Structure 1
């Protein structure tokens, strides 16, 4: 075996420690960026997606935005919902937490593509979700608060 280690079954030979000197790595025609970059040529969550297609890249941007927004929705759901049965409430909140954690990991993996567009829509999705589901909900008085303040809720 030579001193050059062949990673990825036919990819570029890479001696130990050489990744710190390169900003990209090419293994079997797959480019893995090691720093932020602009462009539609990204690999987001699945190998071959969005596959150099502008429409698929835009779909990937929307998908990552939706994932981060849904993560914030589940966080607000967990914080505000009250349950009659402690067991049912605990199980429901545990399932919502597991789903929120899975969505968070998917967003994190998408951001690890180092594509700036993906990073921007992930942060924007979290910010918009926070505003809609947490800040706006906290600023809007609940029906119980409206009833105690003399306001009657409109149905």
Structure 2
């Protein structure tokens, strides 16, 4: 099926990158962002990094809260979970731009967030065991 030549620019603009590539010429999440601008591309790298980092930090959210009312806790946990899932899907969609820089910062954000979460969990466990230990004085 042949297309008129007048429609070709529109079709070419709708094509999506389907393999990994380097470069600042990328569209992440919203049309016109980062708009082929190096400083905006760097800002978008930080944005994706902090979104991925935030996903991992939010993954320990339910462990931070000890006692709460049932209804208030359900509502707050539901909102918390919804925000976390929005971040998860935004990171996924950003990675689907197939830009290697975006992919790398998403992985680094998830990795660093995981390390921070595990460090905080280990510190909390150590504090709990230290407070439960008896201090024998002879």
Query: What is the deviation of 1:144?
Result: 3.9
Judging by fraction of residues, say which structure has more helix: 2
Contact (CA 8 Å) 1:78, 1:96: kept in 2 or not? no
With over 3 angstroms needed to count, the CA separation of the structure-2 counterparts of 1:10 and 1:78, relative to structure 1, is farther
After the TM superposition, which segments of 4 or more aligned residues of structure 1 sit over 3 Å from their partners?
11-14, 141-145
Q: 3-state DSSP class of the match of 1:132?
A: helix
Judging by fraction of residues, say which structure has more strand: 1
Unaligned runs of 5+ in 2: none
Query: What is the deviation of 1:117?
Result: 0.3
> Normalising by the residue count of structure 1, what TM-score does the alignment of the two structures yield?
0.76
> Normalising by the residue count of structure 2, what TM-score does the alignment of the two structures yield?
0.84
Query: What is the deviation of 1:150?
Result: 4.7
Pairwise CA RMSD of aligned residues?
A: 2.3
Q: 1:101 aligns with which of 62, 85, 88?
A: 85
Q: What's 2:51 paired with? A: 67
Contact (CA 8 Å) 1:4, 1:13: kept in 2 or not? no
Query: What is the deviation of 1:73?
Result: 1.4
Count of aligned residue pairs for this structure pair: 133
Q: What's 1:4 paired with? A: 2
